[in-house]
Structure 1
Amino acid sequence: MSQLLPSKRLCYLLLVLLAGGCMLNLFLQAASLGMNLFSAVLWVSAYPWLYCAGSLFLFCILIIGSVIVPNPYTGPAVVSIVFLLLGITGYEKLATTGEPLFPWDLMLVKNAAGMSKITRGMISPLVLVASVIMVAVLVFLIVKLPKIKAGFLLRMGMGGMAMALAAGFLVLVSGQSPVIAALKYQNIFWNQKVNYTQNGFLFAFAGNLRQNLLEKPEGYSREAVEAAAAKYAALPDSQATAIPAEQPNILFMMDEAFFDPTRLPGYMFSEDPLAFIHGEDNKTPSGFLLSPEFGGNTANVEFEALTGLSMYFLGDGTIPYQQRLVKMSSLPSIVSILKERGYQALALHPFDETFYNRNTVYPVLGFERFTSEKDLPDAARLTPDGYISDKAAVDEAVRELQAASGPVFLHLVTMQNHFPFTKGLNGPNTITVTGGQPEQKDELETYVQSTKLTDQALAYLQQELLKLKRPSIAVFWGDHLPALSAGIYTAAGWDQQPRLKHETKLMILANYDIGNEPLGTLSPAFLGPAVFGLSGQELPPFYKLLEQVKAELPGLSKQVLVGPGNSGVLSGLTAEQQRLLEDYRLIEYDLLEGEQYAKDLMF
């Protein structure tokens, strides 16, 4: 019986673990509020029961760590380090992209080697030094603290009770009960910033573990989908803008973190970094892409462009590639549509193939072959530590088009302009930028230099298209604005202008006549119908639905709604626009979360 009785040292350990749980919870909350301890304390005073419940959960996790490792201090130390790193990562993500940390972000841990390159310069030296000191202190304490002996039955009892309580917390967060109401917890999945601010990091993070992409629309059924499919199938096909002599090659070129920096007011450039793009603006269809993202989450822009499904309907912070598509066997897309029409479907991304699970997701969308960085060992980089250049990526894309015997759909995602914007990463800066703060000069000039190189790569692509025998069309756009220092956008006055913070450059090039009608501002979900009109393709019923939505809401995102004919930002929706969005939401739910009735009816 003596081994069942806790010793005085064990009681002290439990008290320390309880205090540790409270401190970790306070740290996580401070990190999610910009490392503001005062704001975290104010949150605790406003939501004391949420804080206590979260601290109890962490206490249980620390106990579990203590009983599964022979040394009772080692497990809690490792657990503490993990949660401290979680808080620091959340803080860095919030500071860089303006979004909190989500459970699905942790799937990128498997890409640790690539992430170290991408995030170089994001984590401050002070944080790194503090982390090393903290680990050293923990190791010292583990060695020096007095030993505690606990019998097997006591350890198993403590561990089992802690596991049950921790599991109960996760079940509680994912459901609805009087206890939840008493804690003042509400899963505000439609606005994740408010979700994390109001509920705290632990409850918001845990609540997202079982988050659906979108809620089931009222009236969802096979009959409802059939009715929608019949309605849009009956619409006449829109008149093609251009009809080439044979099926043209179609190239999508989504350029990492690319936008037009000359749009920033208050800055002057020693030369135009986008000389080719600006020179072609009135000669070919061009405009702006309304990105659903800012500073990151490239895969969501890619998701819209390839599937025609909109992030507008999905919960804040969701990443469909990682949350849903990895679990699917197939999903209709522009890739699968063109494959059925005799196209070869190829993907090209000169970086790690596993980022955003592309190696798993691309076959789901219909791609036959995926060329990634590992397949391009000799591809040119501007510097040894830089990413594969846009010019080298374009070279590889052109080689694929030249080698094909039939029409090709090729989707290219570049990396050259990715963070960090470290001086010299892409070679010497040749453009001087004046204006703004002196400490931002190198960062801005480095980014502008990268856009100049992209502009040159695009000019090269146009020349190479003209050499191809088969009609070919290339759709170029930036996925989102870069994660430049916040002060750059603040000085430009863009913090209060979400449209400008989400508009990237969009341009379509071809080796046959496609006219020069301006594109205005378009959401990526509408790129499929737009390029089908310029390539003489018949529209499937789903694209006819997209055409109807595009006519009313060419820019459709949570941040901005752009009205008909790019007339301006809307503050509300008409009855017709609401009806179209209800149809759109119905089909999107069916394809992502429902029974996929539309798969055979609308594609």
Structure 2
Amino acid sequence: MFNFNKGEEKRERETGKSENAKCRGVFRILSNILLAVTPIIVFEIVQMITVLSVRYKMSQLRTARQIVTRLFSMEVKYQLYNLVIYYALFAVMILIFRKAKVAAVVYTVALVTAALVNYYVIMFRGQPFMLLDIVGMGTAAEVVGEYQFRMPKLLALTMVAVLCFLVIQLIFQRFELGDKSARNRIMRWGVLGFVAIALWQSYPKIQKMENVLLWSVNSDHINKGYMYTLLRELRYFTVEKPEGYSADAVDAIAEKYTEDTEDTETVQADKDTVQATNIIMIMNESLVDFEDVGDLKANKEILPYIRSMNKNVKHGQMHVPTFGGGTARSEYEALTGNSI
């Protein structure tokens, strides 16, 4: 069913000409090589752009050195994890498009585009692209016109290399997954359906994979691979229900504190009546209390006003999920009590 030369034989019948046997053999070898190394090359290109996204403020020469160092410093196990993902995605593309050259072009453009999106998101907001950002694509589309897209030399050279790679695919890639027939199409889509079911069944395992370093996602992109990190981010699309959680359990906890408020103006006549109270919360992210960090000795108190606020005020420290940006995440956690 899966005849490598099916496409060539069809062209030969249509034109009435046959290629030289030796030339066909060379094309077959080149096509097989391309088929085998395409995921590896795309993996390296994506990681190259990922390193550039973090090092774009450095000099060009220094950035080039960082790229070479980072590409070869990733642990072997993480290289293997990423390659499994890249080869699996390439196989899916071939199943969808049948022709390897079309699959390779779509596959390369899609993954390089994903890496470029991460690059420019980091440039614009200082934080990497995450899968959860997909839900905010509408807002991003509204403001994207206000930014200037600049392409440094190393990124431009990388894009030239991508274009050359695509041209090579279009010229030398001849592999086709069977002929163009209804039977072939049914079999390919049947396999894709089986793959989709297998992925759905494996989602619980993805949730148990190692956590993403949310404090510095960029470091995970570089040290553990961009695609492997994206895969692990799938776990954050669902919130695991805590053990023993229920509406009745929440009401039982609330009952403990209702008794303590019976002598105040906020007495609950029943569960449906609550008197609203204004609460002013100041979340000062830029504040640093050096006296609280270490054993600091000074000839006068550093934050006297804050330490003097004891009447009708509660203050303390918060553990936040981000630094150097991402204020909305801290605000969300403070207002809802949910962890990101």
Q: TM-score scaled to structure 1, two decimals?
A: 0.35
Q: Does 1:125 pair with 2:152?
A: yes
Q: Distance in 2 between matches of 1:160 and 1:58?
A: 15
Give the superposition deviation at 1:157.
Answer: 7.1
In the TM superposition, what whole-angstrom CA distance separates every residue of 1:402-426 from its partner, at most 9, and x where no partner exists?
A: xxxxxxxxxxxxxxxxxxxxxxxxx
Query: Which residue of 1 is the match for residue 302 of structure 2?
Result: none
Q: Does 1:101 pair with 2:129?
A: yes
Q: Does 1:116 pair with 2:150?
A: no
Whether the 8 Å CA contact 1:64–1:163 is kept in 2: the answer is yes
Q: Distance in 2 between matches of 1:221 and 1:139?
A: 54
- 1:5 is matched by which residue type in structure 2? N
Query: Which residue of 1 is the match for residue 37 of structure 2?
Result: 19
Q: Which has the higher contact order (CA 8 A, sep 6+)?
A: 2
SS in 1 for 2:261: coil
Q: Distance in 2 between matches of 1:168 and 1:201?
A: 24
Q: Does 1:82 pair with 2:110?
A: yes
Query: Which residue of 1 is the match for residue 246 of structure 2?
Result: 221
Q: Distance in 1 between matches of 2:263 and 2:91?
A: 61
Q: Distance in 1 between matches of 2:239 and 2:278?
A: 34
CA shift in 2, pair 1:98/1:112, >3 Å? closer
CA shift in 2, pair 1:100/1:249, >3 Å? closer
Of 191, 197, 211, 1:189 maps to 211
SS in 2 for 1:188: coil
Query: Which residue of 2 is the match for residue 310 of structure 1?
Result: 337
Of 216, 221, 226, 1:201 maps to 226
Give the superposition deviation at 1:82.
Answer: 1.7
Q: Distance in 2 between matches of 1:143 and 1:14?
A: 14
Matched positions, count: 274
Give the superposition deviation at 1:228.
Answer: 0.8
| Structure 1 portions without partners, runs of 5+ | 241-246, 261-281, 319-603
- 1:25 is matched by which residue type in structure 2? F
Q: Distance in 2 between matches of 1:302 and 1:155?
A: 53
SS in 2 for 1:175: helix
Whether the 8 Å CA contact 2:39–2:87 is kept in 1: the answer is yes
SS in 1 for 2:86: helix
CA shift in 2, pair 1:165/1:16, >3 Å? farther
Query: Which residue of 2 is the match for residue 475 of structure 1?
Result: none
- 1:231 is matched by which residue type in structure 2? K
Whether the 8 Å CA contact 2:212–2:232 is kept in 1: the answer is no
CA RMSD in angstroms comes to: 5.2
Q: TM-score scaled to structure 2, two decimals?
A: 0.56
SS in 2 for 1:53: helix
Give the superposition deviation at 1:302.
Answer: 4.7
Query: Which residue of 2 is the match for residue 57 of structure 1?
Result: 88
Q: Does 1:174 pair with 2:174?
A: no
CA shift in 2, pair 1:160/1:238, >3 Å? farther
Give the superposition deviation at 1:230.
Answer: 0.7
SS in 1 for 2:113: helix
Q: Distance in 1 between matches of 2:171 and 2:155?
A: 25
Query: Which residue of 2 is the match for residue 39 of structure 1?
Result: 70
Q: Distance in 2 between matches of 1:24 and 1:208?
A: 21
Larger radius of gyration: 2
